[in-house]
A = this chain, B = another copy of it.
Amino acid sequence: MSDLYDYPVVIEIPVAWGEMDSFKHVNNTHYFRYFESARVKYTEELKILDFMNDYAKGPILSETSAKFLAPVTYPDTLSVGIRSVTAKDGKLIQQYAIWSHEQSRMVTLGESTMLFFDYKIGKRCDIPEELALRMTKLEPSLSASLKSTQS
């Protein structure tokens, strides 16, 4: 678990038996659900949804990927960490790491790219400044990357 120390948001998810497929390990699609759940939690910490409602600007999932290091089987509990690695030019790149409690090791890594949109004009926009501020509060290491956006 100590391996997730540099992920500012970590959630815990019990593996469901029904998430295993015919090969008797968790089916690949569910890891993207785990990532999504961590991303939503991160979004909540930043109150991004309120922001989307008030300013009509928000992120859209553009790309996502997973690298499977080891299969996961039921029963297990997973800790899913998320962190932001780049936030500039209206693009937020985040990384995921999934730690298996049963195996005591990282079992999956992932990445996603969100693009910010101004819903009123239907076009891409910069990451709103207030959001950028909230993100650097949550993740101080991001600030350098963000500065380049604002200048």
Chain A interfacial positions (CB closer than 8 Å to B):
11-14, 16-18, 20-22, 24, 27-30, 32-33, 36-37, 40, 44, 61-68, 74-75
Copies per complex of this chain: 4
Interface of A is mostly: mixed
Task: Kindly state the separation between the CA atoms of A32 and B27 in the bound complex, as whole angstroms.
Answer: 10
- Please pick, from B16, B62, B65, B75, the residue contacting A64 in the complex, using a CB distance under 8 A: B65
- Kindly report which residue of chain B lies nearest to residue A62, judged by CB atoms: B68
Q: Determine the chain B residues whose CB is within 8 A of the CB of A22 once the complex forms.
A: 17, 20-22, 24
Given A17-B22, A28-B36, A29-B36, are A63 and B66 neighbors across the interface (CB < 8 Å)? yes
Task: Kindly state the separation between the CA atoms of A112 and B23 in the bound complex, as whole angstroms.
Answer: 18
Establish whether residues B28 and A61, one from each chain, have CB atoms under 8 Å apart when the complex forms. yes
